[in-house]
Structure formats: structure tokens, C-alpha cells
Structure 1
Amino acid sequence: MLSEAIDTYLKVRRTLGFKLFTAQGYLVSYARFAAKAGDVHMRTTTAIRWAKLGQSEASRAVRLNVLIRFARFAHAEERLHEVPPNHVFCHRRIRRHPYIFSDAEIVRILEQAQRLNPPDSLRPQTYSTLFGLLAATGMRISEALALRISDITPDGLIVRQAKFRKSRLVCLHDSVASAIGQYLVHRTKVVGADEHLFVSHRGGHPLGYAIAAETFQAVLAAAGVNAPPDRPRPRLHDLRHSFAVRALQTCPESRDRVAQHTLALTTYMGHAHVSDTYWYLDSTPQLTSDIASACEAYLQGGAS
């Protein structure tokens, strides 16, 4: 039965670290649709008819891609399951170009975070430390908010069960480790038994993403950090992007060193694939210009 195959598929992929909340909803919906059609195996015609229920071309493409991934899994177990073709719907995912903060902007952001009210509370220290940590390490905001005091070690921060259920050690510069140590002095004054590193100054419960993102936007406005009129406003996640771009800009020039540097950055940032790191090479004008200049110099050198 399709529902049993779907349950098995979800269990297997979740053991690999995929959450699949959206995919589960789509697959359950498709199973009901297929059952009404009398299907007990994946059928291409039924899959496309179900995918066409999406309200836009992009939505239809997403729906069908979910079924294709499931169908490939199911087909490996039972050949009667058909695998729908790719590119039935014309849609290409366009990744949003990140906002890359300058060093001066990051300084202004941290200074403004230190001015948050109430001035005698934990709030200024919490947000200046949090934003500084994201800028200095490239951690995901979800990873930073999940940190516990026990995750702070002499060797760095232990990021546990992050995206794709991967854990890793994030080494810290001495200045970052010192800033966290200073924050902990204030942090210990907050009443409450919660062990999260970043907590609310009211009640000591774990700091949530929504309030952190909202506070970040308020700090950006106060610091005068704005995107150009034709670009989306900066986000918390752009601190991670900025770290990645800076790291790639300092990459050594020799081919072997470039490969080692990029692989190290992929591991440090917790990317699932090195291609996720390569994306930054063509996502920002500065790096694109640097690559073009390097290629031009190489070609001119070869021609001379």
C-alpha cells in the first residue's frame, strides 16, 4: 500500500536527519488522492494530476519533486512504483542573494545592541553577544539559540544535533571566547534553572527566534544599516552569509590550498555538501569580481 511505503520512506529519511514536515503533508495528501483513483502503487499520471492542484507553477513543481523523491525510494523496493519525470513543470528555484555586512556595519550593530533597554538588565549583553557570535563564527541562528552552558568547552562550542542531525565543534577566537566569558558573568545573575546559554531577561526562559529576529531588525534600524531600495532587508541569517564570504575572500590562491580551505569551511559551517559552500562564490558581486579578475590574470599569463 502507498501509505505503508510512505511511512517507511519518512522513517528512513528522518533517521538521516531530515525533518520532512512539509513533505509528510504532501505525501499524505497524495496518498488520499491516489486511493480515490484506485492506485496501490505510484502512478505517473496520478502524480501529475495531483501536482497540478498546486496554485502556481512553482507550487506544482515543488509538489511533484516531493513525489519524485519518494517514488525513487519506493521503486528501489518495489518495481511496480513508477517514477514521474523531472521538469514537467517549468520552475527553477532562485536563492535569495544575501546581504553582506561590512566590518563597520557589524561594529555598529554590536554597539547598538549594547544600548538596548533596559540598560541594567541582561538584554544588552545577550543580544550583543548573540549577534557577535553569529558574525564571528557563521553559526546558524537556530544553533546559537540551542546552545547550553554545558556546550562551552576549552576547545570551543559543541553544536549538538544541528541541521541534518550533525554535531560539530566550533572553534572560537580568543576574543570571542572572552566575550562569552564576560556574558556568562551577567548570565549567572538571572534567576532560573534553564541551561540555555541565551535566555530572556524576563524569567530566564530560552530566547526564541521570533523575538531575536525582531530585536535584530530594531537594532539594524537604530544602527542605520539598510539594504538598497531594490534588495530585501538584511536578516539575522545574513550574518552567517557574511562570515562565509569573508572566509572565502581570505582563501589562499593555489588550487590545492583553495580546495582544502573550502572543505574546512564546509565542515566548520556544518554544510551538508561542499556545493552549499561554493554557492557563496557566485552569490555576491565582490567574490564574482574577484573570480573574474583571477581568471583574466590567468588567461593573460598563459597567453604571454
Structure 2
Amino acid sequence: GGKDRLVPVHNSVIEYLRSYSAQLPDEREWFFPSACGHYSIKTIYDNFRELLFACNIPHTGNGPRVHDFRHTFAVHTLEKQLSDGYDPMVIVPRLAAYLGHKSYRETCWYIHLTVASFPELSQKLDRAFAGIIPVGGETDEEN
């Protein structure tokens, strides 16, 4: 969506990134510079495809895609917190903010994926968000 995001990382990754950064020239414009300034979306996609090929993971027009890591993280986070008994009214707004979504509707896709994998969670989400987020069926746009 063309938005900047703050991304929390593990302390070991922070140390690695500090070491990496110390090796870069001070006048650099990009944190991960390429010969042309920065990496293009095509370059990242092509490198990801090469990695999939090297790992014998088939790639179709539908995936896997780099963006699938984001989807997987969101779905697993939602599933784990719901199964741990956390209140959906706390989880979903927090997850939406973490993902940089402007509204609950942007988070709906992840909820649909979760309900498809764990139908028993549909009841919890329906109780918490009935009429707000389409979990198991149609939304009530008039309310």
C-alpha cells in the first residue's frame, strides 16, 4: 500500500543489522542499496523465485509469493491468540494496527483465512464482530 511501517525484530537481528549498517558508506540513500540505488520489486520477486526453485518448491501464478509471509504471520498470530483465549475485541484492533491497516475491513482477509482453517473460531469472532467484520457470511451494511 505504499506505507512505511515500523517492524519489531529480534535482538539478534538488530545486532546483525547494526553490523551490516556499519559497513555501508555514510552517504548512502538506501539501507539495502543495489547498483542502481535500490532493489526493484521485480528483482525481489526474481530472487524469491530462484530461492523457491533451489528448494524445489513449485511456483504457480498464484504463489507462493513474498507477500504470503505477511499473510501467514497475520493468520498464525490471530489463530494463536484466539486459541489462547484472548478477546477478539482486543486482538483484531491490535493486529489491524500492527499490519498498518486503516480499518477493520482491511484485516477481513486474514480473518477469512483463519475461519477457513479453524471453523470453531468463527463463533468467537461472530459474537465479537457480528455486523462489523464479515466472518462467516455477508455483512450487514445498513447497521
Q: What TM-score do the two structures reach when normalised by structure 1? A: 0.35
Alignment match of 2:39 (pick from 193, 196, 207): 207
| 8 Å CA contact retained: 1:252, 1:258 | yes
Aligned counterpart, 2:93:
263
Query: Could you list the runs of 5+ residues in structure 1 that have no partner in the other structure?
Result: 1-139, 143-161, 296-304
Aligned counterpart, 1:224:
56
The Cα shift of 1:235 comes to: 1.2
Aligned counterpart, 2:82:
252
**Bigger-Rg structure (1/2):** 1
Instruction: For residues 265-294 of structure 1, give each alpha carbon's deviation from its aligned partner in whole angstroms, at most 9, with x where no partner exists.
Output: 00010012112212212236xx41412476
The size of the alignment, in residue pairs, is: 123
| 8 Å CA contact retained: 1:194, 1:206 | no
Q: 1:212 to 1:184 in 2, by over 3 A?
A: farther
Instruction: For residues 200-256 of structure 1, give each alpha carbon's deviation from its aligned partner in whole angstroms, at most 9, with x where no partner exists.
Output: 2x47x22222211111111111122235x7x72211111111111111111235987
Aligned counterpart, 2:72:
242
| 8 Å CA contact retained: 2:75, 2:113 | no
Alignment match of 1:189 (pick from 23, 31, 37): 23
Q: 3-state SS of the aligned residue for 1:280?
A: helix
Instruction: For residues 156-204 of structure 1, give each alpha carbon's deviation from its aligned partner in whole angstroms, at most 9, with x where no partner exists.
Output: xxxxxx1xxxx6544x24x2x421431332343244722422222x47x
Q: 1:236 to 1:253 in 2, by over 3 A?
A: closer
Query: Could you list the runs of 5+ residues in structure 2 that have no partner in the other structure?
Result: 124-143
Aligned counterpart, 1:290:
118
Q: Report the Cα distance in structure 1 between the residues aligned to 2:103 and 2:121, rounded to whole angstroms.
A: 27
Q: CA RMSD in A?
A: 3.1
Q: 1:278 to 1:213 in 2, by over 3 A?
A: same
| 8 Å CA contact retained: 1:266, 1:274 | yes
Identity among equivalent pairs (%): 24
Q: Residue type of the partner of 2:49? A: Q
Q: Report the Cα distance in structure 1 between the residues aligned to 2:69 and 2:85, rounded to whole angstroms.
A: 27
Q: Report the Cα distance in structure 2 between the residues aligned to 1:216 and 1:180, rounded to whole angstroms.
A: 23
Q: 3-state SS of the aligned residue for 2:87?
A: helix
Q: 3-state SS of the aligned residue for 1:220?
A: helix
Q: 1:224 to 1:192 in 2, by over 3 A?
A: farther
- How do residues 102-121 of structure 1 correspond to structure 2 at under 5 angstroms? none
1:275 aligns with 2:105: yes
Q: Report the Cα distance in structure 1 between the residues aligned to 2:107 and 2:53, rounded to whole angstroms.
A: 30
